[in-house]
Amino acid sequence: MRLNGGVSSDTPSLESIVADAVALRRELHRHPELGTELPRTQAAVLDALSGTPGLELSTGKGLDSVTAVLRGAAPLPAGRVRPVVLLRGDMDALPVQEATGVAYASEEDGRMHACGHDLHTSGLVGALRYLAARRDELVADVVGMFQPAEESDGGARPMIEEGLLTAAGRRVDAAYALHVQSSQLPHGVFASRPGTHSASCDDLIVTVIGSGGHGSAPHRAQDPVPVAAEMVLALQTLVTRRFDALREPVVATVGSITAGTAANIIPDTARVAITLRSFSAEARSRLLPAVREMVTHVAAAHDMQVRLEVDCDYPVTVNDPEHVDAVRSVVTELFGPDAYQESPEPGAGSEDFSFVLQEVPGAYVDLGAAPPDVDPATAPSGHSPLAVFDDAVLARSIRVLAELALRAEAVAE
């Protein structure tokens, strides 16, 4: 797919870069893909970036990722080397049936860019093209991280394992990611905070192993259903009795309980799916072991066993204060003081960009993308089939991502 004639030999203007990014976003929105296998999205990114001066493109081995390295061309002071700045754009969609009615709505049944990753992808494409047009001013080398599977298997970790952080030849010095929001934030307003930005996530799947039988004679079976119910209640007590609600808040939610096939059949097993969220590495290190211990002992009290599986295991997303200050400075200089807000508290959602921020300092930043004529306080939130993201914010996201790279300073050898 080539949009707006692709990349010409002439230096593109910011206006044409933004227009191409909007067109790319809408094409991605029509054809969302899930998980680690994003062949159409990957091809669209590669095509949109083909021919960009100074850009080196590579693809992932175990997932449909794209890594783009843009070499800065600004002269360096003696004894200094180019810093490496990573910019992330996640590419995957959600298994949601779109109900927005927008002209570019998803044409794929049961799939939707309900979290705005199509804007992240197209915004990063635009930022790289804008930086390429200003290579003579660019001191840094820039790594563009086009990541699959943020919503499912966690694509950041395998990209790191495949060499993402050294893709430019030396290790990344700073990393930034923007995430659009379809609600809460005003249109075009950026928000972030130093320290903890987003919670960790550990999804624990507990299978209680009993022994089935006839519903009329439960004493002749080992019924896992009441044991699972006991675990659900004990979980709430564990949270409030083991953790200080003010100093180390945690969230434990049972999202699914499944067991049995009929009213008069005692099943062999019952399955409880729990999501655990915490806001510090210390609280996380205690929460999952405590829940494991509790469910194991509840089952043992009824002479049963459990099988435990951990699904999601994302660490806490922690922003470096200096890089948050850099974001604030860029945003306010470009768009004025009202364009930036400090988030008053961390969010309980989780994000696998946390794996990057565990390795290098950086910042994760939100951007309000609700349509300007919609009240963000009542707008449908991300992951809703009604979530609408205004692609007019791409102009701001492209400028901010690019400017963060342009302001990077050379570092000592």
* Domain boundaries defined on the chain: 14-198+316-412, 201-314
State the average pLDDT for the chain: 95
Say how far apart CA 189 and CA 342 lie, in whole Å. Answer: 10
Per-residue pLDDT for 3 more than 60? no
* pLDDT bucket at 33, cuts 50 / 70 / 90: very high
The pair phi, psi for residue 186, each rounded to 5°, is -65, 155
- According to the model, what pLDDT value does residue 206 have? 98
Give yes or no for a contact between 143 and 164, defined as CB atoms under 8 angstroms apart: yes
Q: For 217-226, give one letter per residue: b (16+ CB within 10 A) or e.
A: eeeebbbbbe
Residue 341 is which amino acid? Q
Average pLDDT over residues 15-44: 98
Looking at domain 201-314, which CATH architecture does it have? 2-Layer Sandwich (3.30)
Q: What percent of the chain has pLDDT over 90?
A: 95
- According to the model, what pLDDT value does residue 6 have? 35
- In this structure, what token pair is assigned to residue 200? 């960790």
Give yes or no for a contact between 320 and 138, defined as CB atoms under 8 angstroms apart: no
pLDDT tens digits for 255-289?
Answer: 999 999 999 999 999 999 999 999 999 999 999 99
Give yes or no for a contact between 56 and 389, defined as CB atoms under 8 angstroms apart: no
- According to the model, what pLDDT value does residue 10 have? 66
Q: Scanning the structure block, which residue is given the tokens 């086009």? A: 146
Per-residue pLDDT for 82 more than 70? yes
* pLDDT bucket at 412, cuts 50 / 70 / 90: confident
Say how far apart CA 394 and CA 123 lie, in whole Å. Answer: 6
Average pLDDT over residues 14-42: 98
Per-residue pLDDT for 413 more than 90? no
How many separate helices (H) and strands (E) can be counted in the chain? 9, 18
Say how far apart CA 48 and CA 69 lie, in whole Å. Answer: 15
Per-residue pLDDT for 1 more than 70? no
Q: Which helix (H) or strand (E) holds 15?
A: helix 14-30
Angle at 370 between CA 367 and CA 376, to 5 degrees: 100
Q: For 184-202, give one letter per residue: b (16+ CB within 10 A) or e.
A: bbbbbbbbbbbebbbbbbb
Say how far apart CA 203 and CA 36 lie, in whole Å. Answer: 19
Per DSSP (E only), the strands in 14-153 are: 55-59, 66-70, 80-81, 84-90, 141-147
> What helix, strand, coil percent values describe the chain, rounded to 5?
35, 25, 40
Q: Which helix (H) or strand (E) holds 317?
A: strand 317-319
70 in helix, strand or coil? Answer: strand
pLDDT tens digits for 345-389?
Answer: 999 999 999 999 999 999 999 999 999 999 999 999 999 999 999
pLDDT tens digits for 289-310?
Answer: 999 999 999 999 999 999 999 9
Average pLDDT over residues 192-216: 97
Closest by Cα among 352, 363, 366, 354 to 397:
366
Average pLDDT over residues 132-138: 97
- According to the model, what pLDDT value does residue 8 have? 39
Residue 305 is which amino acid? Q
Average pLDDT over residues 175-194: 98
- According to the model, what pLDDT value does residue 9 have? 46
341 in helix, strand or coil? Answer: strand
- How many of the other CB atoms lie within 10 Å of CB of 138? 23
Say how far apart CA 40 and CA 12 lie, in whole Å. Answer: 25
393 in helix, strand or coil? Answer: helix
CATH class, domain 14-198+316-412, is alpha beta
Average pLDDT over residues 52-63: 96
Q: To the nearest 10°, report the CA torsion of 125, 105, 390, 121.
A: -20
Beta bridge partners of residue 265, listed in sequence order: 214
Closest by Cα among 139, 180, 111 to 388:
180
* pLDDT bucket at 311, cuts 50 / 70 / 90: confident
162 in helix, strand or coil? Answer: coil
- According to the model, what pLDDT value does residue 11 have? 82
* pLDDT bucket at 7, cuts 50 / 70 / 90: very low
Closest by Cα among 227, 38, 41 to 125:
41
- How many of the other CB atoms lie within 10 Å of CB of 28? 29
Average pLDDT over residues 234-262: 95
